[in-house]
Amino acid sequence: DSGVTQTPKHLITATGQRVTLRCSPRSGDLSVYWYQQSLDQGLQFLIQYYNGEERAKGNILERFSAQQFPDLHSELNLSSLELGDSALYFCASSPRGGPNTEAFFGQGTRLTVV
Partner 1 sequence: DAKTTQPNSMESNEEEPVHLPCNHSTISGTDYIHWYRQLPSQGPEYVIHGLTSNVNNRMASLAIAEDRKSSTLILHRATLRDAAVYYCILRNRDDKIIFGKGTRLHILP
Binding site for partner 1 (CB under 8 A): 2, 4, 31, 33, 35, 42-45, 48, 50, 55-56, 58, 90, 92, 97-100, 102-108
Q: Is the peptide bond before 25 cis (omega within 30 degrees of 0)?
A: no
Nearer to partner 1 among residue 78 and residue 92 (C-beta) = 92
Distances 91 to 35, 52, 55, 66, 105 between C-alpha atoms, Å: 6, 15, 15, 11, 6
Least distance to partner 1, CB of residue 21, Å: 13
φ, ψ for residue 60, nearest 5 deg: -90, 130
Distances 18 to 9, 40, 52, 76, 102 between C-alpha atoms, Å: 16, 23, 23, 11, 32
C-alpha 17/C-alpha 40 separation (Å) is 23
Nearer to partner 1 among residue 55 and residue 73 (C-beta) = 55
Nearer to partner 1 among residue 27 and residue 100 (C-beta) = 100
Least distance to partner 1, CB of residue 96, Å: 10
Least distance to partner 1, CB of residue 87, Å: 13
Least distance to partner 1, CB of residue 15, Å: 26
Nearer to partner 1 among residue 6 and residue 113 (C-beta) = 6
